[in-house]
C-alpha cells in the first residue's frame, strides 16, 4: 500500500496518464516551464510528451505498475540551491515496454519536484537500451 499525500496522488495520476498516453492529462500535471530529464537528457515537458507520442506512433507502449512501486515524499526545510525545490516524490518501479508480441522490462527511478501542486522538474532513470532494442 502506498502512503498518500497530495503530491504522491499527483504523481500516481501522472503515471496513470503516461500509461494511457493521455497527452492532455499528462500536460495538465506539469508547470508551464517544466523540464524532464530523460536519462539526464533535459527537455521541456511538451517535447517529452512528443517523444512518448512518437513511441505510440511506432507501436511501442509503456506500462508502469504503480501498485508494486516504492513511492515516498521528501520535504526539505530549505529550497535546494540549484532548482529552489522543497518537495520531491521518489518512485522506484518496473517499466515494461511492449511492441507487438515483444516486451522488455527495466527498473525505473523517477524523482519529481513538486511546486504549487504541479510537477516542476522530473528526473527519470532507466535502461534506454530496452527501448532501442524494441524499436529495431
Domain assignment of residue 73, yes or no: yes
Series of mean pLDDT values for 10-residue runs along the chain (136 residues):
80 96 96 95 97 92 92 86 85 96 95 94 95 87
Among candidate residues 119, 84, 111, the one with its CA nearest the CA of residue 10: 119
Provide the CATH number for the domain around residue 89.
3.10.450.50
Domain assignment of residue 76, yes or no: yes
Whether 87 and 73 have beta carbons less than 8 Å apart is answered as yes
Which SS3 state, helix, strand or coil, does residue 50 take? helix
- pTM reported for the whole predicted model: 0.90
Report CA torsion sign: 119, 125, 128, 130: negative
**pLDDT for the residue numbered 1:** 44
Q: Give the total number of structural domains in the chain.
A: 1
Domain assignment of residue 1, yes or no: no
Domain assignment of residue 88, yes or no: yes
Domain assignment of residue 123, yes or no: yes
**What are the C-alpha distances in Å from 72 to residues 109, 126, 133?**
12, 18, 31
Residue 32's domain spans which residues? 6-135
- Cα gap 12→131, rounded to integer Å: 23
Domain assignment of residue 34, yes or no: yes
Question: In angstroms, what is the C-alpha Rg of the chain?
Answer: 15
Amino acid at each position: 500500500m502506498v502512503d498518500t499525500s497530495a503530491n504522491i496522488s499527483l504523481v500516481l495520476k501522472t503515471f496513470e496518464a503516461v500509461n494511457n498516453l493521455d497527452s492532455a492529462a499528462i500536460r495538465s500535471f506539469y508547470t508551464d516551464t517544466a523540464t524532464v530529464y530523460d536519462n539526464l537528457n533535459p527537455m521541456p515537458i511538451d517535447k517529452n510528451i512528443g517523444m512518448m507520442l512518437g513511441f505510440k506512433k511506432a507501436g511501442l507502449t509503456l506500462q508502469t505498475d504503480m501498485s508494486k512501486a516504492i513511492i515516498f515524499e521528501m520535504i526539505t526545510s530549505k529550497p535546494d540551491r540549484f532548482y529552489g525545490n522543497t518537495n520531491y516524490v521518489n518512485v522506484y518501479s518496473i517499466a515494461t515496454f511492449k511492441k507487438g508480441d515483444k516486451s522488455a522490462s527495466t527498473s525505473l527511478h523517477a524523482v519529481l519536484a513538486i511546486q504549487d501542486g504541479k510537477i516542476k522538474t522530473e528526473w527519470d532513470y532507466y535502461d534506454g537500451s530496452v527501448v532501442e532494442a524494441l524499436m529495431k
